[in-house]
Amino acid sequence: MTEEKRIQPDSEVVMYFTLKLEDGTIADSTEDEEPMQFTMGDGSMIPGLERSLYGLQTGEKQSVRIGPDDAFGQRDPENIRAMKREEFPADMALEPGVVIEFDTPTGESIAGMITEVQTDTVNVDFNHPLAGHEVTFDVEIVDINPS
């Protein structure tokens, strides 16, 4: 008799997931796509979801609710910045809801969403779009490759 593979540290995991907001709105899903593949502990998974996967076996399904602190963090008002209008290209359409990629001084790219446009300034929110939200992940484990 073979022992069932269970998710453990450094396991390579293949899974389907659906991410839902508090009101049931689906924010992201792999349901009609290829399953997601990642390695436990590699930092690609939010902490609350990763902890909930330990011990699951191939074929198992689970639904887990995760609060903001273990998901995408709390909203931080200091992550909303007023930037000078002249810092943006003159032909760029600036309106609330538009997401723009910015380069940091270290060369990384971060996304910011425009929240307000005034004559001389543009307010940009650099919080994760799901910050401050409790989320629910429905997962189905497709395959596990132990480390």
Residue-range domains of the chain with CATH: 12-73+130-145 (3.10.50.40), 77-125 (2.40.10.330)
Q: Please give the angle made by the CA atoms of 116, 117 and 121, to the nearest 5 degrees.
A: 110
pLDDT value at 2 more than 50? no
pLDDT digits (tens, 9 = 90+) for 108-138: 889 999 999 999 999 999 999 899 999 999 9
- Contact in structure between 127 and 110 (CB atoms under 8 Å): no
Q: Kindly tell me the burial class for residue 2, based on how many C-beta atoms sit within 10 Å of its own C-beta (0-12, 13-18, 19 or more).
A: exposed
Q: Which residue has the higher pLDDT, 104 or 135?
A: 135
At residue 126, φ and ψ (nearest 5 deg) are: -100, 10
Average pLDDT over all residues of the chain: 93
- Residue 49 in 3-state DSSP? helix
CB distance 66 to 137 below 8 Å = yes
The model's pLDDT over 65-89, given as tens digits with 9 standing for 90+, comes to 999 999 999 999 999 999 999 999 9
At residue 47, the pLDDT reads 93
DSSP 42: S
Q: Report the predicted TM-score, pTM, of the whole model to 2 decimal places.
A: 0.78
Please give the average per-residue pLDDT across 5-14, as a whole number: 94
Reply yes or no on whether the pLDDT at 3 is more than 80.
Answer: no
Q: In the structure encoding, which two tokens stand for residue 96, read together?
A: 């609330």
Span 80-102, average pLDDT: 92
Q: What pLDDT does 93 receive?
A: 87
Cα separation values, 122 from 83, 84, 89, 119, Å = 5, 6, 12, 8
